[in-house]
Amino acid sequence: MKKKRKKKIKRKTKKINKKSRKFSKGKKLKIRGKIKKRKSKKKLIQLEKTSRLEEKKIKKEKQERERQDRIYKKRVEKAKQERLAQLEKARKLEEKRQQEEKQERERLDRIYKERIAKQEEQKLKEQEEQRLKEKEERKLMEESSPNQRVEEERRLKEQEEQKLKEHEKLGTPSQPEEEKKE
């Protein structure tokens, strides 16, 4: 594009130079002034166009940056919301787990206490039964003791008599042995 402009400018300058040969010095100066003015106007127009293009470009870049910033902010906000939701969900799950553990501990405590209570109750029943048995045995002993005493005395006498008889039977041959020992 610059080459084309340069060529155009060269062509115009050649035309002007050809025309300027025909004109006098004063007219030549006027023409040169007009040419310079035209060149400066063209330069100004080009500068304005380039500045407008740059402004448009800057404006578009700014809008693009703003759009990217909005997208980024939305994504960041969405990520924060998701993270908060996940944290909330995790917190609820943790609370639920703790609640379940607490209920399980309470259930186990109740079972343990019930077992202990049953064991205590069983122990008390056994002790009570033992006392009742002992009491009944004492009563029976007291009631049957005169009869039993007589029977026991008789048995003891019989046992003593048997021992004596056995001892007498065994005692005769064993007397010499006893004498030897003495």
Q: What is the pLDDT along the chain (182 residues), one digit of tens a residue?
A: 667 777 777 777 776 666 555 556 666 666 677 777 777 888 888 889 999 999 999 999 999 999 999 999 999 999 999 999 999 999 999 999 999 999 999 999 999 999 999 999 999 999 999 989 888 877 776 666 666 667 777 888 898 888 888 878 776 554 444 444 44
Q: How far is 32 from 26, CA to CA, in rounded Å?
A: 10
Angle at 50 between CA 70 and CA 11, to 5 degrees: 155
Q: How far is 82 from 22, CA to CA, in rounded Å?
A: 84
Radius of gyration of the chain (CA): 67
Q: How far is 91 from 169, CA to CA, in rounded Å?
A: 98
Q: How far is 5 from 12, CA to CA, in rounded Å?
A: 11
Residue 19 pLDDT = 55
CB atoms under 10 Å from CB of 20, counted, come to 18
Residue 116, exposed/middle/buried by CB under 10 A (0-12, 13-18, 19+)?
exposed
Q: How far is 96 from 115, CA to CA, in rounded Å?
A: 28
Residue 135 pLDDT = 85
- The pTM of this model reads 0.38
Residue 175 pLDDT = 46
Residue 129 pLDDT = 92
